[in-house]
Amino acid sequence: MFCSLAVLDPRVGHTMEVLSPFICAKLLGVHLRHDLNFSQHVESVVAICNQRIYLLAQLKKQSLVSTMDYIFNAIVLNEILYAL
C-alpha cells in the first residue's frame, strides 16, 4: 500500500515521515493502486473522454466539422495516450 504521514520526532527535533497505508494515489495524473490495478485510472480516463466527446458532438452541431480532427487529437486522443 502507498503511505504517508508526517510526525514530529522529539529526538531529532524535526518532522520525519512515518508511513501509513492508503489504497490509491494520483501521481502525474495517473491513478496508482497498491496492487498495480489500473481500473480506477481507466475509469477516470473514460469519464473524461466521454465529456470531451460530448463537447465534440456539440461543436459538430455548430458546423465546426472542418476542425474536428484537430480538436479530437488535442482534447481526446492526448488524454488516452498520456502515460502509455
pLDDT tens for the chain, 84 residues long, are: 554 545 555 665 555 566 667 788 888 888 888 888 888 889 999 999 999 999 999 988 887 778 888 999 999 999 999 987
- Map out the domains of the chain as residue ranges: 2-81
Which residues have a Cβ under 8 Å from the Cβ of 56 and sit 6 or more positions away?
Answer: 68, 71, 72, 75, 76
Q: Flag whether the pTM goes above 0.75.
A: no
Q: Given this model, what pLDDT does residue 35 score? A: 87
d(CA 26, CA 29): 6
Task: State the cell numbers at 34.
Answer: 497498491
